[in-house]
Every structure is written in structure tokens, then in C-alpha cells.
Amino acid sequence: MRALLIIICFFSCSTEQQTGKVVKVVDGDTFDLMSDKKIRIRMFGIDSPERGQSFSVKAKEFTAGLIAGKEITVTIINKDRYGRFVCDVYLDNGTSVNAEIVKAGYAWHFTRYSNDDELVRLQEEARASKRGLWQDSNPVPPWEFRRR
């Protein structure tokens, strides 16, 4: 029983929050945050079009419009193999930036890493409404684009 409590606490207590200013938007799901130091953030559970893919510029512009130069809060989930902090991202009013990007149609729900029902719902709404990348007749998910 004690081991189970330790495991539960590790997974539920290990998240860390950081607040800082967005100093650079790299692409639709990646940016630099200045907190105590500059850190690169990759948004959890979403995947925006890659550079060279349809809608990559619009995705970056949408994300920049939401967060560039703003004070935001991130909840760190983990670190990826590139050293980026993988995070849930929130505006000061509590709005989930990750969800807003999917809702606008500028990112896929990245089901390989996330089972968030809200992101599933938002992606289906964006697809049905042909918002953002869903205007394309055959949008290619970024993970398939990278594989090519």
C-alpha cells in the first residue's frame, strides 16, 4: 500500500508550474519562455504543422497572437528528447492555449501522447467546421510529414 501511495504521489505531485513572459514563438506548438532563465516549451498533447507544411505559417501566427510578449503559466509535464519542457500552457485568465490552438484548427490532438477527451472534441469541431488546417482537402499530420 505504501509503495502505491509513493507511486501516486510521484505522478501527481511531480508537476511544476512556471510563470514567465513569452519571448519568442518558434512555431505553432513551440516557444521560448523567460522565467528565471529562458526555457524552450513544447505544448503537450498537440502537434502543429511543421515548417514547409501547409498552414505552418498560419499556425505560428495564431499561436503568436495568443501568447507573444504575454505573461503565461506553464505546467511542466516532462522533458522531451530535445531538451524542451513539454507543458500545458495557460493564459492569465486560465484559458488553455493548447486547447485554443486545436479549437482554431492549427494543431492536431497528438493522441500518441495524450488521451484528453476535450482535445478530441475540439479537433472534431474544428474538422467539421473546416477551421484552420481542416480547410485542406487532405491534411497530413505532422508526425507523418516528419516520417517522410
Q: Which helix (H) or strand (E) holds 46?
A: strand 46-47
Contact 102, 119 (CB under 8 A): yes
Contact 103, 126 (CB under 8 A): yes
User: Grid coordinates in use for 130?
Assistant: 473546416
Q: How far, in Å, CA of 99 to CA of 116, rounded?
A: 10
Q: Cite the active site residues.
A: 42, 50, 84
Q: Which of 59, 57, 21, 58 is nearest to 38 (CA)?
A: 21
